[in-house]
Amino acid sequence: MNQGNTETQDNWREAFAVYLNPRVAMMLFFGFSAGLPLLLIFSSLSIWLRKAGIDRSTVTFFSWAALAYSFKFIWSPLIDKLPLPVLFNLLGRRRSWLLCTQTLVAIAILLMAFTDPTNNLQMMVIAVVLLGFASASQDIVIDALRIESANEELQAAMSAMYVAGYRLGMLASGAGSLYLASIFGQGENGYNYIAWQYTYICMALFMLVGIVTTLLIKEPETNKSIDTYIHTGREYAQFLGLFIIVTSTFVVAFIYLDASSWIRASLSPLIGDVLAKFTGQLIRISIAISAAMLSGYLIANSGLVNRNMVIQTYINPVVDFFVRYKKHAVTILLLIGLYRTSDIVLGVITNVFYEDMGFSLAVIASYTKVFGVLMTIFGGFVGGVITNRYGVMRILLLGAILVVLTNLLFMVLAAKGNDTFWLGVVIAADNLSAGIATAAFIAYLSSLTNISFTAIQYAIFSSLMTLLPKTIGGYSGSMVDQIGYSNFFLVAALLGLPAILLVLYLMRANASDNKQ
């Protein structure tokens, strides 16, 4: 009996000791760098804009700037294939792109800092979109570096450490920004632009954490030579030109082929204005993606670019995934697209909800940012450990169930109103479940990736993961205006049920495949 207990203790000790591995530890700092920009687009910016007198629906529309995370698969091949002049020889493929994207993130934050939304809301939109693009690009490189830096056995621990760093970055840009804004002169009443300007300047300086880490680490040994991809200056120019044309086609189609207005007018009497807007927006995005794909296809067959290079870059990563997972590929993609819908949709509106419930900035910062982040970090570490012991799929299921249950708790808080006890209960449960679910999900996505197509495949997975929830999230303010907070939280919880069913199906399918 004692021997069994000793073995169990040793197993748990080994499970936690993995976090001391330098390759695992570095993800804490990269996670911080990746998590810092997120709340500068979402909740902290939402409070800034609300203080500036911007209406709630317009505030939540700003969350669409984060749709760059959902379309990063479009330019991930550019980051994966093209060497940056000078920097590539000095730092290597991944580190050179990391330094470039991290610098661009800092510049975008500074541009936001020097823009007053009350005087120039359009420039603020441009700055936020730039921040979304730069931050999503940074994520592409970090994800590829994480997968290439260690084998599959370390991925759960690296995911947990990444989640911890990510949440610390969110703590800095969430609670940290609110505290700084208060210190710099933003009170409960009125609006003080200078306070937010100084706050965002501080946030830009925090990006030095990621920049310094990039300069200190080594390039992954498994990284392939860039010669595998780009052989001549002509191919370099062709590939860059292809990217510019495909991306420009997407942007032009999205702006000028907007069928959402007449679709909304036609469907509104049948399904309601919010759902009609959402349907029209999905069709608009689908048209833009189709136009971009068509332009790429035409260019590839025109002889203007190396056709084999296009196939290797855009086609082979997709084909590889379907060949490896065969009949389960579509189900896996559905799970990726739906797993985080519930918590992301709810997360867009939470800070506005807290303020509408009458909580002060100090309470929001203390409860939802400091305490909440600590619970998420704890949940992430727990998720990493139990994922290693019990397997990814079981913890993936546990995380999906917990997210649905904890989202229902927001209905209780909506009924209680300004009650700090229930605020603490809801924040603890929500963030603990989010930490467990996120650690397991990142490990799951990493296990799906082929090392030959690291950056591109993971970018596709993570883009798909956020596309639907962030599209829906942009309408969260309008939904609350129509159905109220309690009904909205119920809808958000119900959005998590398909993920539970899909995980159960894949678990059963995997068990059946293993018996054969």
Report domain extents, the chain: 21-219+306-515, 235-305
Would you state the pLDDT for residue 511? 74
Q: What is the DSSP string of 429-484?
A: HHHHHHHHHHHHHHHHHHHH--GGGHHHHHHHHHHHHHHHHHHHHTTHHHHHHHHH
Cα–Cα dist 312/335, whole Å: 26
Mean pLDDT, to the nearest integer, of 448-470? 79
- Which residue's structure tokens are 């924040």? 427
Of 18-32, 85-99, 213-227, 358-372, where does mean pLDDT reach its minimum? 213-227
pLDDT for res 227: 45
Residue 206 has pLDDT above 90, yes or no: yes
Give the model's pLDDT for residue 36: 93
- 181-195: per-residue pLDDT in tens? 989 988 777 788 999
Spatial distance between the Cα atoms of 458 and 446, rounded to a whole number of angstroms: 7
pLDDT digits (tens, 9 = 90+) for 230-267: 555 676 677 777 778 877 887 787 766 655 555 555 65
Q: 473-503, pLDDT tens digit by residue?
A: 666 776 777 788 888 888 888 988 999 999 9
Q: DSSP string of 288-324?
A: HHHHHHHHHHHHHTTTSS-HHHHIIIIIHHHHHHHHH
Of the pLDDT bands very low, low, confident and very high (cuts 50, 70, 90), residue 74 is confident
- Indicate the pLDDT class of residue 203, thresholds 50, 70 and 90: very high
CA 113-118-123 angle, to 5 degrees, is 55
21-219+306-515: CATH class: mainly alpha
Model confidence, pTM: 0.73
Q: Looking at the predicted structure, is the pLDDT value of residue 223 above 70?
A: no
Report residue 214's pLDDT band, with 50, 70 and 90 as the boundaries: very high
HSE value, Cβ hemisphere, 13 Å, CA-based, for 291: 19
Q: Which two tokens stand for residue 235?
A: 């191919």
- DSSP state, 208? H
Look at the alpha carbons of 237, 241, 244, 250 in this order and tell me if their dihedral is positive or negative: negative
